[in-house]
Amino acid sequence: MTFEFKYRPRRLRKTSAVLSLLQETRLLPSDLILPIFIHEGIEVEEVDSMPGVFRWPLNRLAEQVAVWHASGLRAFALFPKISPKNKDPEGSQILNPDSLVYKASRILKETALDFVLIADLALDPYTSHGQDGIIGKDGDVDNDLTVEILAKASVLCAREGFHWVAPSDMMDGRVGVIRKVLDQESFHYTSILAYSAKFCSAYYGPFRNAIGSSVNKLRIDKSTYQLNPSNCREAKRELILDDSEGADILMIKPAEPYLDIIQWAKQQFTVPIAAYQVSGEYSRICAAGKLGWLDQDACAMESLLSIKRAGADLILTYFADRIAHSLGK
């Protein structure tokens, strides 16, 4: 029996050639930013909670970045794991020019490759208590003192060769202060990638393991500065404030649990929108793939496409190297 249907949408899904012609959302290596963990040792170390992700020693960093660059990646964000003996309550190593992350930036600058190097601006890799800022007398993170330290660190990052600084601390007013001090020091072209809507998420655990910021393996409470996962309007307010303070790029973190926020930001702002597919998002896909429950590569691609489809112009993801390699085939 043949029916006279007016509409047959399946006509446009008939062959792989048609599917390719009509694909609405495309993922490119240039859309991706690879987070890189670095450490003070001399060997490459796999992060046990993030299969396929490694901590890189400085003696291997330049050659590995060249490999990633050849695959099409053009942006890298550095995250240091420093020795506990170099940590203190004030996170003072963030202002030490000889600290690990600044040594790494100098090494990468010598490669003369064309890429964007991004500095994470937060104190949690450096503080003995694991919080993203300085603890005040009331036991909470002192907002203004933390902003002062981060502003100083932003100038040091710019001086040491970072192209973008990325304040990930969620302190009030920090984007405006960072922009002001960078301009005062003539770093007018150092961009600010603001973690504008960073939620107090349970998905950060593997990352904290990777940089060694967990304390006694307990989950650190950051709810007084990171966003409540229940709150949409509050997230929108933070995005509006960072835009008004001069952020060059606005970021939502985590990514897939907050596609609604990404979509709203894309519709609201004219600056680029970034999203961070965080460690827990990565590890859950890897774990299910390892158990044979899901196709890891297919799920990674689908997840990233959903993030881009929602409106992200840039995506930080630990899958970046593998996705870039597969896209280049």
Residue owning tokens 């020693």: 57
Report the alpha-carbon distance of residue 190 to residue 184 in Å, rounded.
12
- For residues 28 and 327, the answer to whether their CB atoms sit within 8 Å is yes
Query: For residue 291, what are its two tokens?
Result: 């158990």
152 included as an active-site residue:
no
Report the alpha-carbon distance of residue 118 to residue 192 in Å, rounded.
9
Determine how β-strand 273-277 pairs with β-strand 191-198: unpaired
At residue 184, φ and ψ (nearest 5 deg) are -60, -30
- Which among 81, 87, 222, 253 is annotated as catalytic? 253
SS3 assignment, position 167: strand
SS3 assignment, position 41: coil
Report the alpha-carbon distance of residue 150 to residue 225 in Å, rounded.
15
Which DSSP letter does residue 135 get? B
User: Where is 116: in which H helix or E strand?
Assistant: strand 116-121
Please compute Rg for the chain using Cα positions.
Answer: 21
Report the alpha-carbon distance of residue 280 to residue 272 in Å, rounded.
24
Instruction: From 249, 247, 251, select the one nearest 180 (Cα to Cα).
Output: 247
253 included as an active-site residue:
yes
- For residues 93 and 86, the answer to whether their CB atoms sit within 8 Å is yes
- Which among 81, 87, 198, 308 is annotated as catalytic? 198
Catalytic residues: 198, 253
